[in-house]
């Protein structure tokens, strides 16, 4: 059974919903810059307006309240607080998030803040971005300002969203900014992100902020495509690649030895100091947030296939070898797939949480993203997103079983509350409970899933089987 204090939520990210990209003193982020390069996003879409949440947050929060939403996870645009990434605080940015937090609390909706959801200030990228220790220190200052400004009302904090995604797509696939073709620089950036996380955790605790702080990682548990020794080994490689390397430093305070040796052999290993390892060891997360959409069914790369780099091949579909060349993600002909080629496999969410518990103990878990990207059917003005209802219901069923089996699952955040800008995919890929009509002044309309999730919340998931 779901606990009485279970946080039924929905999530978003600043760049994908806010718009107002250059208003009230906001600076330019790497995504504001990158999305305007021809060919980089679907049909040239960008977040200049997005779904205009910046101006319509009261309307959106009212819709959340009507649904009965218990919690809303959102990110803070770093460039609204520090237009250049550091220096003078932009008070208009503080004011906006104060207003949003207060509006949520007015309706008893618990705010859950993500500090970094990919929108690095462009001025910091010019000095090296996440490859630079200056960016690490700038992030800590940004975090401290947010703790000070909002920590009296916000008790749930996430430092980073999906480092595996923004590192891999930036440095291995060049599909996201800063588009640098260098795994070595990518792994140094991933280590610097871990250090930035640990420093922010330390600041949070040193400042005496009440509540909890953690990180969110993508969860793509790997399964061998066959019982062959090669495919089993390929699945082990995949787990090291996107599970152990990213979760171990946060939850164990150390890097996985075997994978670190592999990086050293490739000449990709980051520079790691004893002081940094001590910082990781003494500032572990209070919880782990997981974003789950699909598992990875993997086979050995016997044909030595090379990675094809393109916008289309960076969205998670099977067929390409990994950037390190050690395995290929493949298709299960017996499984369902979304219109974007993502496998629908709820059991992977359960198995992934079980693997977290097995490797890291009874760490509290939040599902910080889970949802269906689709093109919703509209009939006689009604948005009939029944596939989304089915998708979420099946994933909630394994969440319920996980709690019964002793996993400390504390909340579920559907991605997303409204339709939003889906990074490289524009507005064609819909995720929300609320339809946003881009042909009619961004009008908000409730989908079938909106009413279904409202019932789930009201009954605390009693009817989830």
Report d(CA 390, CA 67) in Å as an integer: 18
Distances from the Cα of 336 to the Cαs of 40, 269, 339, 342, 391, in angstroms? Answer: 29, 37, 10, 8, 11
Q: Phi/psi at 221 (nearest 5 deg)?
A: -55, 140
Two tokens, residue 1? 């059974």
Two tokens, residue 109? 């909706």
**CB of 112 closer than 8 Å to CB of 73:** yes
Asked about 336 being catalytic, the answer comes back as no
Closest CA to 350 of 281, 423, 403: 403
- Which residues, 6+ apart, have CB-to-CB distance to 379 below 8 Å? none
| Strand-pair category, 343-344 with 288-291 | unpaired
Distances from the Cα of 292 to the Cαs of 239, 340, 355, 418, in angstroms? Answer: 15, 15, 14, 19
SS3 state of residue 156: strand
SS3 state of residue 19: coil
Q: State how far Cα 434 lies from the chain centre.
A: 20
Q: Which helix (H) or strand (E) holds 147?
A: helix 133-150
**Considering 18, 369, 382, 443, which one is annotated as catalytic?**
369
| Strand-pair category, 110-116 with 212-218 | unpaired
Beta-bridge mates of residue 371: none
Distances from the Cα of 174 to the Cαs of 120, 135, 219, in angstroms? Answer: 16, 20, 21
- Which residues, 6+ apart, have CB-to-CB distance to 412 below 8 Å? 6, 7, 8, 9, 366, 367, 370, 396, 399
Report d(CA 116, CA 387) in Å as an integer: 30
Active site residues: 369
């Amino acid at each position: 059974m779901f606990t009485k204090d279970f946080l039924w939520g929905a999530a978003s990210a600043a760049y994908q919903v806010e718009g107002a990209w250059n208003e009230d003193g906001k600076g330019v982020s790497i995504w504001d810059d990158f999305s305007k390069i021809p060919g980089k996003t679907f049909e040239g879409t960008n977040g200049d307006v997005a779904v205009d949440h910046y101006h319509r947050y009261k309307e959106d929060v009212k819709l959340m309240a009507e649904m009965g939403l218990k919690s809303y996870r959102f990110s803070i645009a770093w460039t609204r607080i520090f237009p250049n990434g550091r220096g003078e605080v932009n008070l208009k940015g503080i004011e906006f998030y104060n207003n949003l937090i207060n509006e949520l609390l007015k309706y008893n909706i618990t705010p859950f803040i993500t500090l970094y959801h990919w929108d690095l200030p462009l001025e910091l990228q010019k000095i090296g971005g996440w490859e630079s220790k200056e960016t690490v220190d700038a992030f800590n200052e940004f975090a401290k300002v947010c703790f000070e400004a909002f920590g009296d009302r916000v008790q749930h904090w996430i430092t980073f969203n999906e480092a595996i995604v923004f590192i891999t797509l930036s440095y291995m696939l060049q599909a996201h900014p800063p588009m640098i073709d260098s795994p070595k620089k990518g792994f140094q950036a991933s280590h610097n992100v871990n250090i930035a996380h640990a420093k922010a955790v330390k600041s949070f605790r040193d400042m005496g902020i009440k509540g909890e702080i953690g990180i969110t990682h993508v969860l793509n548990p790997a399964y061998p495509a066959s019982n062959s020794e090669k495919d089993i080994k390929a699945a082990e490689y995949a787990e090291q690649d996107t599970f152990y390397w990213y979760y171990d430093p946060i939850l164990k305070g150390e890097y996985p030895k075997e994978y670190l040796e592999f990086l050293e052999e490739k000449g990709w290993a980051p520079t790691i100091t004893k002081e940094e390892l001590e910082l990781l060891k003494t500032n572990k997360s209070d919880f782990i947030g997981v974003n789950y959409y699909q598992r990875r069914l993997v086979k050995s790369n016997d044909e030595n296939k090379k990675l094809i780099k393109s916008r289309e091949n960076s969205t998670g579909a099977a067929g390409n070898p990994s950037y390190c060349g050690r395995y290929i993600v493949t298709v299960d002909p017996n499984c369902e797939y979304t219109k974007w080629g993502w496998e629908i496999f709820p059991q992977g969410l359960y198995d992934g949480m079980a693997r977290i518990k097995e490797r890291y103990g009874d760490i509290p878990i939040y599902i910080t993203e889970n949802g269906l990207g689709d093109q919703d059917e509209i009939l006689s003005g009604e948005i009939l997103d029944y596939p989304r209802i089915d998708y979420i219901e099946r994933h909630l069923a394994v969440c319920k079983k996980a709690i019964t089996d002793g996993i400390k699952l504390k909340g579920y955040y559907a991605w997303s509350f409204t339709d939003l800008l889906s990074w490289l995919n524009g507005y064609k890929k819909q995720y929300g409970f609320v339809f946003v009509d881009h042909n009619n002044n961004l009008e908000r309309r409730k989908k079938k899933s909106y009413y279904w999730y409202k019932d789930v919340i009201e009954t605390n998931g009693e009817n989830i089987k």
